[in-house]
Structure 1
Amino acid sequence: MSLTTDTDLAPLEFAVTRNLAAKTAAERDALLADPAFGTTFTDHMVDICWSTGGGWHRPRVQPYGPISLDPAAAVLHYGQEIFEGIKAYRHADGSVWTFRPDENAKRLQRSARRLALPELPVEYFIQSLRELIAVDGAWVPSGEDQSLYLRPFMFAKEAFLGVRSAHKVAYYLIASPVGAYFKSGAKPVSIWLSEDFARAGKGGTGAAKTGGNYAASLLPQAQAYEQGCDQVVFLDAAGNVEELGGMNIVFVYRDGTLVTPASESILEGITRNSLLQLAEDRGLKVERRAVSLQEWRDGVASGDIVEVFACGTAAVVGPIGVLKGHDFEDVQPLGDVALSLRQELTDIQYGRREDRHGWLVRLDA
């Protein structure tokens, strides 16, 4: 099944209901001064319905608030749910932009297909971002490393206790002003190796951005915290590195090659792919292949691996400083590739550097 894209698709006609309890400018500015990740939300949200008979319909922007669900809603019983993560950036001239939204839209479609949900057209996905910014654009912060984190999500809302794909689905978009994901900023993070749990398996939902994958990572993540680590990394059944609880991983080798694990159970990271493209632009070699835990540890010990970093939309880049397991603790080498690529990528996102690949899309025009 091909992804749903149609350049002739007519735009949706959104109804807009303003939030009468919206924050005042002073209240909003106070919240934007130092936003914690994912704890404060804007005044409005997008809501679009889908049904087998009506397709995508009743698009609206409405006050942010609780969602009413029937206790028999399929998502509550069978976990038929997907989501995305994307950011809006305030440029120096005050304009608001986002980064590669078409890729997020296509990944949402791939996730939808795997979870037997309807595929939201790319055009509707991007339009939903614009519609929310049209009413909540003032919530896009302008501080260093700040952005408006946009969370599109879709779930089965049909009240039905049979095991089949739902005939009624809801798509929502909410937004949260954020600062740096890690409190330490781009400083090195410590990683706990999960040897008792798996994030996903062959033929599973690992390549989809669905809540169940993240729920499965929470217990190992709690173990990581207990071990004094910031994040957890998973292996597949063959002992190959997959990804962190919420980020991809990249290895930098002594010859300048960047290697990232490749598997059908790994989420296709848009930030990762963008960083690797920038690396290729510099003339560096990029490989997508299996990387075993043994190769990782041996490479660090021999000096063949000179840097390891994690990456994702929320955190952008996090250099890995320590890999810790039940019976070992390996200090990781630190270099300048990760932070250099991070600087280049964020410079593009915030409009400080030329966007050679046409990745930026303006949302407030």
Structure 2
Amino acid sequence: MNGHNLAPINASSLFFTPLPPSHIVPPGKESHGRYMLTIPWNRVSGWGQPKIGPRQDLSFDPLAGVLQYAVTCFEGMKCYKTEQGDLRLFRPKKNFDRLKRSASRLGLPSEWDNDELLELFAKLMALEAPLVPNTDGSNLYIRPTLLETSEGFGIKEDAFAAEALLYVVTTLNLGLGLYGSAEGEGKGIKLDACKEFIRAWPGGTGSYKLGANYGTVNISKKPGYAMSLWLHGQEDFISEAGAMNVFIIKQAEDGFLEFITMSLNNGIVLPGVTRESIIELLTEHAEGEKDFPIDGMPKKIRVVQRDISMPEIIKGVEDGTLKGMFGCGTGVVVVQVGEIRYQGTTYKIPSNPLIKIIRDTMTGIQRGKIDEGRDWSFKVPEWNPEGKEGQPEEEVTAA
């Protein structure tokens, strides 16, 4: 970025600070992880020393870019514990690549070795191992966040941050309350098809995981509904529901059962890791390359990526060709949609047992019960540090 060799993220230079013997969990923070990973960056020297230490508050200049202009992006990941007590991460490098893409869109640092970052993640997860639940549907949620810490006030000479911070914290069981929504009739979630607020548009930032994309989610959600179903265009095409990708299951005229989800081509929807994984599994099954990991998936299926409008969904409900609808994402894994409120009318969406098969397949892979043959489930190595270790602690200064 500046013509010089910038320091990379280097896991071997980690500085670890253990919890003090007197550590007490603050009231209201019982569900949060005890540790956090921080890695500073500046545009002159590159990445600074990674540190893992007790979770603590962050401080910034009042004119920091993250505070003034929401220059921040993040990822959502989960750590699972197997029945044998192993810790697993699901396709973590996919999340790292998406974080790079989001960071680049904001002028934040977007270059690092994924293997180095994964080693640091694994050590953080190993420290939190006692907190990770092992019950079905439970998890330790991981929130990597990258933000501008340098002054971002006014029009700058270029769009790139002078200083940034990558940090990672954890908390328990995001999405657990929706886990049972794929179980069958009457379990699906309720969505409100939102026309008052627009989440994303062509050429915008809808396909990036930026903090600014999610600030309107809560204010737009109607009471009694799990999430907003975001619409766009005069045709009222659907895009995402809340912060998850959406599929409909539809009977085609040629007898095939179609799994239809919005294409990524126009940049409105996030390229979800769960979405991509489901598409891969269904496509391989449809093409006869590899059977779906759990029995019960029909052979005559196809995956279609195209626009889906609310009028098409309503017509499918009325003529019986709509066979189900579900959302997917890291937080929720797979959830069935039970009804949609649109233009003052509530439409009941039929349940479909295939949705539970997809959910059980995804959670089985994530928790190490199913080996899909692709190394999607990363086993976290054990790490038991004693006291402070790693390179001597550096003082990282702004440039």
User: 1:206 Cα deviation (Å)?
Assistant: 0.4
Checking the alignment, whether the CA contact within 8 Å between 1:278 and 1:341 is kept in structure 2 is no
Which residue of 2 is the match for residue 234 of structure 1? Answer: 230
Q: Which residue of 1 aligns with 2:129?
A: 137
Which amino acid letter does the alignment assign opposite residue 285 of structure 2? Answer: R
- Equivalence for 2:84: 93
Aligned-pair identity (%): 27
Q: Decide whether aligned partners of structure 1 residues 52 and 12 sit closer, same or farther in structure 2, where only a CA change above 3 A counts.
A: farther
Please, what TM-score do these two structures have when normalized by structure 2? 0.81
Match in the other structure for 1:5: none
The answer to whether the 8 Å contact 1:309/1:338 transfers is yes
How far apart, in 2, do the equivalents of 1:116 and 1:180 lie? Answer: 31
User: Greater shift after overlay, 344-353 or 116-125?
Assistant: 116-125
Q: Which moved more, 1:124-133 or 1:94-103?
A: 124-133
Deviation of residue 322 (structure 1)? 0.4
Q: Which residue of 2 aligns with 1:83?
A: 74
C-alpha contact 1:97 1:364 (8 A) present in aligned 2: no
Distance in 1 separating the partners of 2:40 and 2:209? 20
User: Which residue identity lines up with residue 246 of structure 1 in the other structure?
Assistant: A
Question: In the alignment, does 2:55 pair up with 1:64?
Answer: yes
Alignment RMSD (CA, Å): 2.4
| Cα pair 2:9 2:50 within 8 Å, conserved | no
The answer to whether 1:257 aligns with 2:258 is yes
**Structure 1 CA distance, aligned partners of 2:357 and 2:135?**
20
Q: CA deviation at 1:120?
A: 4.4
Q: Show CA shifts across 1:88-146 (max 9, x none).
A: 11112111110001110111011111111111422243123112123222221112211
Q: 2-side partners of 1:143 and 1:20: how far apart?
A: 30
- Asked if 1:193 corresponds to 2:193, the answer is yes
Q: Tell me if the contact between 2:190 and 2:338 (Cα under 8 Å) persists in the aligned partners.
A: yes
Residue 259 of structure 1 aligns with an amino acid whose one-letter code is: I
1:245 aligned residue: 242
Question: How far did residue 21 of structure 1 move?
Answer: 5.8
Q: Select the residue among 332, 337, 341 that pairs with 1:315.
A: 332
Given candidates 351, 356, 359, the residue that maps to 2:373 is: 356
Query: 1:77 offset after TM fit, Å?
Result: 0.3
**Pair 1:336-2:315 in alignment:** no
Q: Aligned pair count?
A: 346
The equivalent residue for 1:126 is 118
Consecutive unaligned residues of structure 2, counting only runs of 5 or more, are: 2-7, 182-186, 287-300, 383-399
Instruction: Indicate if the aligned counterparts of 1:240 and 1:293 stay in contact, CA closer than 8 A.
Output: yes
CA distance in 1, matches of 2:119, 2:199: 33
SS in 1 for 2:340: strand
Letter in 2 for 1:216: T
TM-score by length of structure 1 reads 0.89
The 5-angstrom pairing of residues 163-182 of structure 1 reads 163-164=155-156, 165-178=160-173, 180-182=175-177
**What is the alpha-carbon distance in structure 1 between the residues aligned to residue 30 and residue 233 of structure 2?**
36
User: What stretches of structure 1 of length at least 5 have no aligned partner?
Assistant: 2-7
